[in-house]
Structure 1
Amino acid sequence: MRQIWRIYTTDWKNIFKIPIVIILLAALTVLPSAYAWVNIKAMWDPYGNTSGIKVAVVNEDKGAEVQGKKINVGNEIVQNLRKNKKLGWVFVDRSTAVNGVKKGGYYAYLIIPQDFSKKLSSILEINPSKPQILFGVNEKINAVAPKIASSGATNVMNQISQAFVKTVGDALFSGFYKAGIELEKELPSIQHMEKEIFTLEKALPQIDAMGKKAIELEAQLPEIKEKAQKVIELEQRIPEIKQAGNSILKVEANLTLINEAGEKVLALQKKLSDMNRINQLVTQVEDSLSEMETNITQSIDRSAQAASNGVTNGNQEQLTQLHDELLSIHNQIQQTRVDLQQKVSEGEKIVNSSSDFIKNDLPVIEGKIHKAADFVRNDLPALEKDLHKAAGLVRTRLPELEKVVHKAADIARNDLPSFEAQIRSTADKLRRLKGSINITDLIQFLKHNPQAESNFLASPILLNTKRIFPIPNYGSAMTPFYTMLALWVGATFLIASLRVDVDESEQAYKSYQVYFGRLLTFLTIGIFQAAIVSLGDLFILHTYAVDKVWFVLLSIFIGMVFVIITFTLRSVFGTLGKGLAIILLVLQISSSGATFPVSTTSAFFQMIYPFMPFTYAVSMLRETVGGMVVDVVRRDVLFLLIFIAASFLLALILKKPLSKQIQKTSELARASKIIQ
């Protein structure tokens, strides 16, 4: 340990003997700080000065007309961009924009085509067409500027989309609001209609029965038409009816005569006995004639007998003639009696029948005649009018009735089944709708504030950002990386500018004594480098750090780790060690996740990520800047201590075996008069 301390003190004595060396060491101490401070300041707010990134804007939009209102979204975009200072918007024509981007005058261009508003308003059409904004970017000018320009273009698109969604949403929800008001007004009518539909559903069997009756009535139309024709025929016979009515009136007027005739018939009936007595008298006369005929016949017989006896009687011929005449008269009287008896019988029947009619039927008939006469006088004129009216209806309305009946029957056959199905389906849907949707709740939903709803639709999600470890600016966020990078660069400058071996002309030293003795000198300078860088970050650049003391202390610790690693490489591998330190620097910039997340790098860098000291150094410094999590700091310190242990182990194992070979290599390199 004494020898190690001796090497260390001797180094500083030699340093202070030569002022130029002091100046060199001072430069080596401060130079890494300048590297860090320049880069941190340059990156302090890189996205705060993007207005210098010029983007050409071309507006060719000719506008459109929506429901009689002219719109031009392109002009609105230009007006908004004139107020937007995030990028350097330049408003030119198409050829200027395209040529400017090609030649590097602009980083990008935005071209709003002629049909932009027209396509944007096509949302109201059946087949809407999405509008396009042409975006061109020149990526060879700068690696970052095109990304910023693209981000600006994306922001413009988002603003357009958000404004469009808000406008459409405002119109949509305003329509909903109006619909809700109208629906609320029409709610009684809707409920009434709903009730009527259910009532109609219940009445469907009756409607179906009516449809069947319409079909039956259609089948009876020929019969109805035939009967209706009889009404017309009856109308044509009105004169005959009137004549018959007049006849009835005449009959009524002659009822007195009929009654008188009836009385005579009754009187005649009473005289029928006298007529029978006449018949009896005729019979008596006929009997007398028969007696006379008998007497004459006897007289003739006696005359004939006398003649046969020789007695001559001149009266026989007269008797015979008289007998014949009496016989002829008798026959005539007999025939007359028979005829008279027949006539009397017939007359008696007629008289008796007439008498019965007069006694029994005539009063009834007389009443009917009076009633018929009253009808003729009082009701027949009105009946005639009704008959004329009915006939007119038959002529004019019956054809229409036929059409209506045919149409009703046709509906019953063809349309009624589908109508019934629709009514039942509608009723079922209403029942399901009532079960699933409360119309009052629907009205309340439709009556929501249109402005609030459209604002919600335009921005449905609010990002509530909670900055767990807030860092106010980009420069402070990058301070851990550039501070760590400056410390590695400072350590590399040391091994490139200072010797790692000791002149052994006075006393021989062991290899580990040389290693640790000279390492102390390098560590002293490295501590000053880290202190200057960290303190300058805090008090010259005023970078943000939650734990300033720990930021300085851990920066010094990291500086010591980097000095040990680089010094070990240079001490063990000689000139080759300087190259190894630079290679490690390059590898660690990409694999440490200090600039971009390591997950965005290639598989190789993700593989070596856990084995690089930068990984833990930058993580540890970030803890002091944003807010320390003790477990993370402990882990990072532990891994950096492992790197220190590995460096010491490497030096103790390889320095002595490789020292002679490294010395020969260094001498050969110096012999080239190019390499130190």
Structure 2
Amino acid sequence: MKSLSVFIKDLGAVFKNPKMRISMFAILFIPVLYSGLFLKAFWDPYGKMNELPVAVVNEDKGADYEGSKLSAGSDLVAELKKTDGFKWNFVSREAAEAGLADNTYYMAIIVPEDFSAKATTLLDADPQPAKIIYEPNEGYNFLAGQIGGTAVKDIKTKVSAKITEAYTESVFDKITEISSGLGEAGDGASKIADGATKLDDGALKLKDNLLVLTEGTGKLLDGVAPLTQGVTDLNTGAAALEAGSSTLAGGLQQLSAAHKQLQDGVTQSASGSKQLNAGLQKTAAGAASLKDGTQSAVDGTAKLQAGTKSVVDGSAKLEAGLTSSAEGSAKLEAGLTASKEGSAKAAAGAKAVADGLQALAKSNPQLAASPDVQKLLAASTAVATGTAQLDQSQEQLLAGATALHSGQEQLVQGANQLHTGSEQLDAGVTQLHDGAKQLNAGSAQLLEGQQQLAAGAGTLAAGGAKLSAGMQQFGAKLDEAAAGGAKLADGGKALEAGTAKLLSGAGQLGSGLSSVADGSKKLSDGAGQLKDGLDELKAGSGELASKLGDAATQTNSVNKSDALVSMFAQPVQIEEVKVSKVPNYGTGFAPYFLSLGLFVGALICTIVIPMRESEVIGASRFNRFMSRTLTFSMMSLLQALLAILIVLYGLGLEVQSVGLFYAFSFITSLAFMWMIQAIVTWLDQPGRFVVILILIFQLTTSAGTFPLELIPNWMKIFNPLLPMTYSVKGFKAVISTGDFSSMWNDAGLLAAYGIVFLALTFTYFMTRDRGNEAVLKSEQVLTV
């Protein structure tokens, strides 16, 4: 109870002193100044981007592409007019340069006159990338230039998509041409199938006629045998012609009968030769139709091969361009990562310098009153603010570069798949063209063979006619021989010589007819093989026509539409699903600035309020400990309460639980206060310097702004050792994530910090001799 009375008397002494009242009242608003003003400044900076003036210059003259007008520059301007990202000013080149010179514009975006012309060179041998000139006025405001750079990259992505749509429409037009070529090839294959059918019919007739020829030749051979026998008898009887004229008359009758049989066989042979010649003429006509059909197929596949070659070349160039773009985005991402690390270090250093100068000024009122010091304080605060904004912009730039690189890689994968498919299509069309050429060559050879066969059949028919005429003449001679039988005896010797020659001719006739029989048999077998081959040709050409028709149908089914072209140009869209959504920058930075404000407020309290002495003369050590502790705790709770009221009801900060937010803020403020009270009580002025060092380490290692993984490895050691790490985590849980179990864990660790340091303060008051503290009486001067 006595301890409470000492606290009340000390508090009353403070309120009796006007300077102390003003100082303590001002100290209560230190956390509000840090958390409230900083959060208000950074609450939603991107919400006012439409007030940032930017010059846009369109010098593009347009270009012709695939028979249509491409105006990429005008399309870009139309797209910008629909958006409110910046305060767009569409001016001339001279006006833009003048505006940059007099700081009217923060940046300028210039579309060159050859922008559309270069955009159409993708399929050329030497493609030229279209360029957008970006001129930031970095000397006027560096951060505005960095933000504008991100916007220009977004504009580049949109323009690239529009250009890709134009190329996509061209590719689909080529596919339509391929479909037409496949249809023509299918028609040619159908003609081949029709010609093969006719040729197959002709081959069947040829085979039938050759069978008739073979049969007639067999009969002719049968007729030659009696002739040979008769001639032999004639030759034998010629020697006894004079003695056996009656025998001669009988031989002549047998010879006449054999002559009739031979003449019938020759007549049948001539008729078969005529039929053979007619069948071969039809076969030759079918072979000519086949050759014309295969030539049509060769021409169709040549057109198809040219079309697929264009698709392969286009997909290869598209793949190369996208690969180069992906490499550039990767380099951009790496550069932004390095720049972001540098800006984080610069922001932390500038903040530390500003805080140190403010602490120094408050610890020395005379120094703080100096105008030069005031200017130095204002400059350090401005530098700290600027570097913090730079650090935030760098983080956004890095996130955008990462998303750009990911999208470029997916585009490269899509281009690889397109190129591979087009190469496979080109290889298939090449094989089809080679097959058609081979088929055409085979049909030409077939036509040539059929023509030769037809010529041979004509010769055979002519020989048959001559043979028939000879047989008639031979019959006439036999008649003359029968009529002149009486004279035969007188010419017996001459007849003997003639019959010998006749016997030799009959042998030759039998040998020739045997050769004709063998040839006709082989010809019949060849005609059967020809029919089998033509059956296969008919089936294959029919299948070829069917497959080409299917290919034409499938390619014709690719219907070009705006939605399809847009999907081809931008096949990937990003759907953002936020976990523990943070509505604005102020909400995201609230855990960091609240922790900073409460820590700095506790530090300032130790400058104004006496650390060890009491206004009550003779107060015991324990009473002095209680009085000092209650005073600092009361100031801590009041500071936290004011900060809570400002951020909740002044700035409109939304939290997961208002009650837990109050509780965690009070625990954090008390932990910071008791920690700083113990250090300054033990070390006095050097203790405040130690607290500032601890603050600097906490600002860089607490992960309040950048993730812990992005700071140097040697700094990560301090993260779990310092209390602001847990205050930042706990505030994030109670404000954004709603992970209250994690919040209570962090609150417990902060409470442990506070209790440990409160015990150290208690140890100081209970162990230090009052005689050794006489030199510290000067602290009471602050309360006079």
Q: 1:150 to 1:194 in 2, by over 3 A?
A: farther
- Distance in 1 (alpha carbons) for counterparts of 2:771 and 2:618: 21
- Distance in 2 (alpha carbons) for counterparts of 1:78 and 1:455: 20
Q: Report the 3-state secondary structure (helix = DSSP H, G, I; strand = E; otherwise coil) of the residue aligned with 2:577.
A: coil
- Distance in 1 (alpha carbons) for counterparts of 2:74 and 2:644: 52
State whether structure 2 residue 721 is matched by structure 1 residue 611.
Answer: yes
Q: Report the 3-state secondary structure (helix = DSSP H, G, I; strand = E; otherwise coil) of the residue aligned with 1:32.
A: helix
State whether structure 2 residue 630 is matched by structure 1 residue 520.
Answer: yes
Q: Report the 3-state secondary structure (helix = DSSP H, G, I; strand = E; otherwise coil) of the residue aligned with 1:47.
A: helix
Q: Say if 1:174 and 1:450, in contact at 8 Å, map to a contact too.
A: no
Deviation, structure 1 residue 26? 2.9
Tell me what 2:743 maps to.
Answer: 633
- Distance in 1 (alpha carbons) for counterparts of 2:192 and 2:601: 88
Deviation, structure 1 residue 217? 11
Q: Report the 3-state secondary structure (helix = DSSP H, G, I; strand = E; otherwise coil) of the residue aligned with 2:128.
A: coil
- Distance in 2 (alpha carbons) for counterparts of 1:452 and 1:209: 48
Gaps (5+ residues) in structure 2?
194-293, 298-431, 463-475, 496-536
Q: Which of 457, 465, 478 is the matching residue for 2:576?
A: 465
- Distance in 2 (alpha carbons) for counterparts of 1:84 and 1:662: 73
Superposition pairs for residues 363-402 of structure 1, below 5 Å?
Answer: none
Q: 1:7 to 1:133 in 2, by over 3 A?
A: same
Can you list the C-alpha shifts for 1:299-356, whole angstroms capped at 9, x where unaligned?
xxxxxxxxxxxxxxxxxxxxxxxxxxxxxxxxxxxxxxxxxxxxxxxxxx899559x9
Q: Say if 2:667 and 2:751, in contact at 8 Å, map to a contact too.
A: no
Deviation, structure 1 residue 3? 5.8
- Distance in 2 (alpha carbons) for counterparts of 1:205 and 1:64: 46
Amino acid at match of 1:527: L
Tell me what 2:604 maps to.
Answer: 493
Amino acid at match of 1:71: L
Q: 1:454 to 1:20 in 2, by over 3 A?
A: same
Q: Say if 2:24 and 2:608, in contact at 8 Å, map to a contact too.
A: no
Tell me what 2:565 maps to.
Answer: 454
Superposition pairs for residues 547-558 of structure 1, below 5 Å?
Answer: 547-558=657-668
Superposition pairs for residues 351-430 of structure 1, below 5 Å?
Answer: 352=490
Deviation, structure 1 residue 622? 1.4
Superposition pairs for residues 63-462 of structure 1, below 5 Å?
Answer: 63-94=62-93, 97=96, 100-101=99-100, 104-173=103-172, 176=175, 178=176, 182=180, 189=187, 192=190, 211=445, 352=490, 443=554, 447=558, 450-462=561-573
Amino acid at match of 2:600: V
Q: Say if 2:668 and 2:747, in contact at 8 Å, map to a contact too.
A: no
Q: Which of 547, 564, 589 is the matching residue for 1:478?
A: 589
Superposition pairs for residues 587-626 of structure 1, below 5 Å?
Answer: 587-626=697-736
Deviation, structure 1 residue 534? 0.9
- Distance in 2 (alpha carbons) for counterparts of 1:135 and 1:128: 22
Q: Report the 3-state secondary structure (helix = DSSP H, G, I; strand = E; otherwise coil) of the residue aligned with 2:110.
A: strand
Tell me what 2:617 maps to.
Answer: 506
State whether structure 2 residue 58 is matched by structure 1 residue 59.
Answer: yes
Amino acid at match of 1:467: K
Tell me what 1:416 maps to.
Answer: none
Deviation, structure 1 residue 507? 1.4
Gaps (5+ residues) in structure 1?
222-226, 232-251, 253-258, 270-348, 358-423
Amino acid at match of 2:145: P
Task: Provide TM-score, normalisation by structure 2.
Answer: 0.52
Amino acid at match of 1:118: A
Tell me what 2:46 maps to.
Answer: 47
Q: Report the 3-state secondary structure (helix = DSSP H, G, I; strand = E; otherwise coil) of the residue aligned with 2:54.
A: strand
Deviation, structure 1 residue 594? 1.6
- Distance in 1 (alpha carbons) for counterparts of 2:192 and 2:155: 50
Q: Say if 2:56 and 2:110, in contact at 8 Å, map to a contact too.
A: yes
Tell me what 1:565 maps to.
Answer: 675
Q: 1:353 to 1:149 in 2, by over 3 A?
A: same
Q: Report the 3-state secondary structure (helix = DSSP H, G, I; strand = E; otherwise coil) of the residue aligned with 1:123.
A: coil
Amino acid at match of 1:450: S
Can you list the C-alpha shifts for 1:521-575, whole angstroms capped at 9, x where unaligned?
1111111111121122112221111212111211111111111122222212112
Can you list the C-alpha shifts for 1:194-234, whole angstroms capped at 9, x where unaligned?
97899x9899899779859969999xx9xxxxx9xxx9xxx
Q: Which of 748, 751, 757 is the matching residue for 1:647?
A: 757
Which is worse superposed, 574-583 or 531-540? Answer: 574-583
- Distance in 2 (alpha carbons) for counterparts of 1:353 and 1:164: 111
Deviation, structure 1 residue 25? 2.7
Q: 1:514 to 1:667 in 2, by over 3 A?
A: closer
Q: Report the 3-state secondary structure (helix = DSSP H, G, I; strand = E; otherwise coil) of the residue aligned with 1:453.
A: helix
Q: Say if 2:165 and 2:566, in contact at 8 Å, map to a contact too.
A: yes
Can you list the C-alpha shifts for 1:237-276, whole angstroms capped at 9, x where unaligned?
xxxxxxxxxxxxxxx9xxxxxx9xx99x99xx9xxxxxxx
Q: 1:452 to 1:190 in 2, by over 3 A?
A: farther
Deviation, structure 1 residue 612? 2.6
- Distance in 2 (alpha carbons) for counterparts of 1:604 and 1:90: 49
Q: 1:194 to 1:666 in 2, by over 3 A?
A: farther
Amino acid at match of 2:153: T
Q: Say if 1:530 and 1:556, in contact at 8 Å, map to a contact too.
A: yes
Q: Say if 2:708 and 2:716, in contact at 8 Å, map to a contact too.
A: yes
- Distance in 2 (alpha carbons) for counterparts of 1:117 and 1:629: 53
Deviation, structure 1 residue 148? 0.9
- Distance in 2 (alpha carbons) for counterparts of 1:647 and 1:573: 13
Amino acid at match of 1:115: D
Amino acid at match of 1:149: G
Q: 1:67 to 1:164 in 2, by over 3 A?
A: closer
Task: Provide TM-score, normalisation by structure 1.
Answer: 0.59
Deviation, structure 1 residue 593? 1.9
Deviation, structure 1 residue 31? 4.2
Deviation, structure 1 residue 115? 1.9
Deviation, structure 1 residue 670? 11
Q: Report the 3-state secondary structure (helix = DSSP H, G, I; strand = E; otherwise coil) of the residue aligned with 1:466.
A: coil
Q: Report the 3-state secondary structure (helix = DSSP H, G, I; strand = E; otherwise coil) of the residue aligned with 1:502.
A: coil
Tell me what 2:641 maps to.
Answer: 531
Q: Report the 3-state secondary structure (helix = DSSP H, G, I; strand = E; otherwise coil) of the residue aligned with 1:90.
A: strand
- Distance in 2 (alpha carbons) for counterparts of 1:445 and 1:522: 84
Q: Report the 3-state secondary structure (helix = DSSP H, G, I; strand = E; otherwise coil) of the residue aligned with 2:29.
A: helix
- Distance in 1 (alpha carbons) for counterparts of 2:69 and 2:701: 57
Deviation, structure 1 residue 663? 6.1
- Distance in 2 (alpha carbons) for counterparts of 1:155 and 1:465: 17
Q: 1:4 to 1:101 in 2, by over 3 A?
A: farther
Q: 1:480 to 1:208 in 2, by over 3 A?
A: closer
Q: 1:70 to 1:663 in 2, by over 3 A?
A: farther
Query: Whose radius of gyration is greater, 1 or 2?
Result: 1
Q: Say if 1:180 and 1:446, in contact at 8 Å, map to a contact too.
A: no
- Distance in 1 (alpha carbons) for counterparts of 2:715 and 2:191: 74
Which is worse superposed, 135-144 or 631-640? Answer: 135-144
Tell me what 1:238 maps to.
Answer: none
